[in-house]
Amino acid sequence: MVKVAIIFHSASGTTKKLAEAVASGIRSVSEVDVVFAEIVGTDIVDGRFKNLALIEQLKNVDAMVFGSPTFMGCVSAQFKAFADATGDLWAEKAWSNKIASGFTIGSNLSGDQLNTIQYMQIFANQHGMLWASLDIPGNCDAEGRNRLGAQSGLIAHSTDGELNTTDLVTANYLGQRVAKVAKKFAA
């Protein structure tokens, strides 16, 4: 069975709604399992991410989808604490050749969310992972998915805590895509 993990942080719940949509997209692909991992405040002690069981579990997945709100133009501090805690795996190349992708949300239409996705991509590349883009050309999709037009990963937008339906449909698609790519690569 191919395993795809979603590792995300969400302070007020919007990123979590996207994570749930990504998870349902992954589950729609046969013979693929989801590891749903929310980074929470109690995982961080004295500024360091201490949920080492999660990091251990991630050694056994085929793909990871990273999720974080955009805070001050980048990932949240909680997500960064998780990323920093994987430093010991870096020299071991423990995540080399795993598939990766990412999603974020911000309350501005152009609120520097791309920097969040690009940080996730650099993080994945530091581990030797293979980044899966969002292969939906913005403005050229019959369903209007990827309405904000980022193809490095999913960028969503909300001003009131409610998720745009098209963003959720796009998140579902991203989950399906990563699951299919991971399955193909595992084969």
User: Using the rule CB under 6 A, which residue among 71, 86, 133, 166 binds ligand FMN?
Assistant: 71
User: Are 74 and 123 contacting, i.e. CB atoms less than 8 angstroms apart?
Assistant: no
Q: Which is nearer to ligand FMN, 111 or 138 (CB)?
A: 111
Residues 2 to 31 in contact with ligand FMN, rule: CB under 6 A: 10-15
User: Are 149 and 157 contacting, i.e. CB atoms less than 8 angstroms apart?
Assistant: no
User: Are 69 and 106 contacting, i.e. CB atoms less than 8 angstroms apart?
Assistant: yes
> What is the number of other CB atoms lying within 10 angstroms of the CB of residue 149?
12
d(CA 18, CA 170): 9
Residues 113 to 142 in contact with ligand FMN, rule: CB under 6 A: 113
N residues, the chain: 187
**Rounded least distance, CB 109 to ligand FMN, Å:** 8
User: Using the rule CB under 6 A, which residue among 45, 52, 72, 122 binds ligand FMN?
Assistant: 72
Q: Which is nearer to ligand FMN, 62 or 167 (CB)?
A: 167
Interface mask (CB under 6 A) for ligand FMN, residues 155-184, using x and -? Answer: ---x--------------------------
To which H or E segment does residue 184 belong?
helix 165-186
Residues 95 to 114 in contact with ligand FMN, rule: CB under 6 A: 105-108, 111-113
d(CA 17, CA 108): 18
Question: Which tokens belong to 63?
Answer: 């793909």
Residue 70 makes contact with ligand FMN by CB under 6 A: yes
Instruction: Enumerate binding residues for ligand FMN (CB under 6 A).
Output: 10-15, 69-73, 105-108, 111-113, 158
